[in-house]
Amino acid sequence: MRYCAAISLTLFILFSSNLSAESNSEKSIQKIPALSSSTTSELAAKNKVFQEQTWGLGVLMRNAEIPFDTEADNVTSFVPMMFYQGDTFFIRGIEGGAHLYQSNAWQFNAMARMRFFDIPAEYQNEVQGDTIDLGFQARKSFSENSFFDIEVFSDLEGNPYGNLSQSWYFQHDSWEFMPKVNARYKSASFNSHYYALSGISEITEQSIGAGIEVNAGIETRYHVAKNFYLLASFNATLLDKNAYESDVVNQRWQSEGYLGFAFFNDISQPKKSELTNHGYLRLAHGWATPSNIGDILAGDTVKDEYNNQLTSIFYGFPLTDELFSLPLDIYLTPGFVWHASSEVQNSEQEYVLAIKAYYTIKWPVRWRVGLAEGLSYASNVSYIEASEMERKGYRPSELMNYIDFTIDINLGDIFNVNALNEIWLGYSIHHRSAIFESASQFGRIKGGSNYNTVYIQFDF
């Protein structure tokens, strides 16, 4: 249950999401400044249309130094990231939350943020130390491009810490920069758990005192063309004296860097006040299969001997209706999945948050192909997934990468009935995996689970 509170908070945020555009006062490397006015927003609401939203989907490689006394000096991880920004709710890569209060100078935010625990890759599946921290942030804006943050956070085991940080935003032509300095106060329990490995490693049960570490870094984004951007960041941390003198730590400085690419709104163009795509609600039912995606796509699917099944509901919130000038409908899609009980498993819940793209083909009738990328959290890992992990010698992970392959057809076109024009019948592959042992946040696992599902989708 390490991620349950964080995932529940995120789903609540996204199911409740409004259609407002973001405020210009919150620029950062992970977002695009909003260009829509309140007048446009009111007109869109009156006409029951959707506006283009601030969004992004990225893929980055993270590399970090290991501060502990180990043979390996560095560890890398593959990190998919999603971005969304509205007046009230936001997702920024490895963090997300809600603005509880906003004025010209102040924000108060409830937040969830992923934090990496850097140990050698060969131990990450067993330890699974990457976690989601929950907390609150107060942000003071000194100008449009200068922010001071006060944060109080805790990990899911109740180890608290706090941050004081100052950040700036600069833009020059196609370049954007966001330097930041941060001081973190770490409680004695936090320091002991993550730097003396108390309760994590059998090597030591050392307890250490609280401390203050300092961090400085810079993030940058380069607009290559249209919706394509390059991303990079670098951070350096100076550990506090108590952490550095821990029996298992052998260096005081720790560096961290990200490098990758992402798709964002085209910053050189104003956002659309009206989109051609609309929201949707999708209801699906599926059956587990031990076959991998390659076999499924080749039509070679093996039936699960215990006939494990799931039922899901997904909401689609329109983000844009084009990408690289192509007619691609892009959605933010949170979902809830119910795994039915069977001979080998109890009923369990799965929560999904993803960004979905559809491409519509209009011959001889309207049909679409779709692909979603995101995160999936399971309250308990399903039998079909846990049995594969057991065969491969992995410890399963509740948090996994999520992919959704779909193909559907419009029922109004099939039956030539206008009343059915907004209804689609389709097939999807519901897929959870950990990206071939490349992602520490997913437990360094190779494999996952697949379900063949059929669905009906209602546009509105």
With residue 387 as reference, give the H or E element that holds it: helix 383-392
Instruction: Say whether both 28 and 138 belong to one domain.
Output: yes
Instruction: Say whether both 98 and 73 belong to one domain.
Output: yes
Q: Which two tokens stand for residue 174?
A: 């196609």
With residue 384 as reference, give the H or E element that holds it: helix 383-392
Q: Which two tokens stand for residue 100?
A: 């509880």
Instruction: Say whether both 258 and 287 belong to one domain.
Output: no
286 burial type by CB count under 10 A (0-12 exposed, 13-18 middle, 19+ buried): buried
| pLDDT, position 28 | 41
Q: Could you tell me which of 254, 286, 238 has the C-alpha nearest to residue 454?
A: 286
Quote the CA–CA distance of 353 and 333 in Å, as a whole number.
Answer: 6
Out of 216, 238, 264, a domain closes at: 264
The answer to the question of residue 275 being in a domain is no
Give the pLDDT means over successive 10-residue stretches in the chain (460 positions): 45 39 37 35 55 96 96 95 92 95 95 96 92 97 94 96 97 95 98 89 79 98 97 98 95 97 94 94 98 91 96 97 96 97 96 97 96 96 95 94 98 96 98 93 93 97
The answer to the question of residue 6 being in a domain is no
Q: Tell how far CA 54 is from the center of its chain.
A: 15
447: Cβ contacts below 8 Å, ≥ 6 apart? 385, 388, 389, 392, 394, 433, 434
Residue with tokens 């560095």: 74
Q: Which one-letter amino acid corresponds to residue 143?
A: S
Q: Could you tell me which of 225, 183, 230, 190 has the C-alpha nearest to residue 208?
A: 190
Instruction: Say whether both 157 and 48 belong to one domain.
Output: yes
With residue 18 as reference, give the H or E element that holds it: none
Instruction: Say whether both 171 and 107 belong to one domain.
Output: yes
3 burial type by CB count under 10 A (0-12 exposed, 13-18 middle, 19+ buried): buried
Q: Which two tokens stand for residue 177?
A: 């920069």
* CATH number of the domain enclosing 193: 2.40.160
Q: Could you tell me which of 375, 421, 448, 414 has the C-alpha nearest to residue 14?
A: 375
Instruction: Give the predicted TM-score (pTM) of the model.
Output: 0.88
Instruction: Say whether both 217 and 286 belong to one domain.
Output: no
* CATH number of the domain enclosing 366: 2.40.160.20
Out of 264, 291, 321, a domain closes at: 264
Domain count, the chain: 2
The answer to the question of residue 433 being in a domain is yes
Q: Which two tokens stand for residue 384?
A: 């079909």
The answer to the question of residue 343 being in a domain is yes
Find the domain containing 28 and state its range. 13-264
Q: Could you tell me which of 71, 106, 94, 68 has the C-alpha nearest to residue 3?
A: 94
The answer to the question of residue 270 being in a domain is no
Quote the CA–CA distance of 79 and 81 in Å, as a whole number.
Answer: 6
The answer to the question of residue 380 being in a domain is yes
286: Cβ contacts below 8 Å, ≥ 6 apart? 309, 310, 311, 312, 428, 430, 451, 452, 453, 454
Quote the CA–CA distance of 100 and 115 in Å, as a whole number.
Answer: 23
| pLDDT, position 198 | 85
The answer to the question of residue 274 being in a domain is no
Quote the CA–CA distance of 220 and 177 in Å, as a whole number.
Answer: 5
Out of 234, 264, 294, a domain closes at: 264
Instruction: Say whether both 320 and 182 belong to one domain.
Output: no
Instruction: Say whether both 246 and 322 belong to one domain.
Output: no
